[in-house]
Amino acid sequence: MKNTLLVLAIATTIAIVNASTVLAQQSAQQTIEAARAKAQETGIYREALADPDQSVRLATFEAMIGSKDPILVELALENGLASSDRVLRGLAFRHAILSRSTLVLNIAADPSAGQSNVEKTKKYIAEHGNQLTIRLYKVDMNTGSFEGATMRARVVGNVSGLVIDYGNYGNVGGSTKGRLALQEDGTVGGMVFETDSQIGGQFLANATIR
């Protein structure tokens, strides 16, 4: 009797192990098939982003961005920013900037602005650091406009084409403003103006957006 029970227990264990193995194999196969289907789907989207018809390219980009699928969104931005189609590139740039909550700029003294400015900007960096953070909120993806704030001031700005412009809210004081453009390496770069009492001035600025 004991031997019979032992044999049954062993047989049951083997059956369970075999069933688990089959299920694992089926699950792995399903995962692989899903991955292949996703790769095929992204391939179709990628081809559409390079379609000779601009309307197809733009419609494809909007569909990918609106899908909320992180893979498609990333693919749309990656291909859009690298596109030779300036309109598509501008749309991708706008989404890449305005979908962020912050834009962190690395700032440095601008030698072309003169020795006095260099000394003031170096002093500013010594006291506040070599980064300037712009917090973005109240963004309008359709127009490219946004409101935000730096450490010192509330700002308003706009992303138009491949350029970001911003300045003091209400255009008062003129102590915070900047213009940055998309560079060939995929970063943004340009010039910002930031003052704090008697220090600060014109800075060179750049930021990584991807």
Residue 23's pLDDT is 56
| Cα distance between residue 71 and residue 42, in whole Å | 8
- What would the DSSP string read from start to end of 186-199? SEEEEEEEEEETTE
pLDDT the model gives residue 8: 46
pLDDT value for 201 = 85
Q: What's the one-letter identity of residue 94?
A: R
Query: Cα–Cα distances in Å, from 200 out to 20, 30, 116, 141, 192?
Result: 67, 59, 10, 32, 10
Tens of pLDDT, residue by residue, the chain (210 residues): 545 544 444 555 555 556 566 555 667 677 767 667 666 777 888 899 999 999 999 999 999 999 989 999 999 999 999 999 999 999 999 999 999 999 999 999 999 988 988 888 888 889 888 999 999 989 999 999 999 988 778 899 999 999 999 988 654 445 788 999 999 999 999 999 887 656 678 999 999 998
Element (H, E) at 38: helix 2-49
Helix axes 54-66, 2-49, angle to 10 degrees: 140
Residue ranges of E strands in the chain: 102-109, 131-137, 145-149, 154-160, 163-168, 176-182, 187-196, 199-208
Residues composing the chain: 210
Ordered by where they begin, the domains of the chain are 2-97 (no CATH), 100-208 (2.40.128)
Give the predicted TM-score (pTM) of the model.
0.79
What three-state secondary structure class fits 94? helix
3-state secondary structure (DSSP) of residue 93 = helix
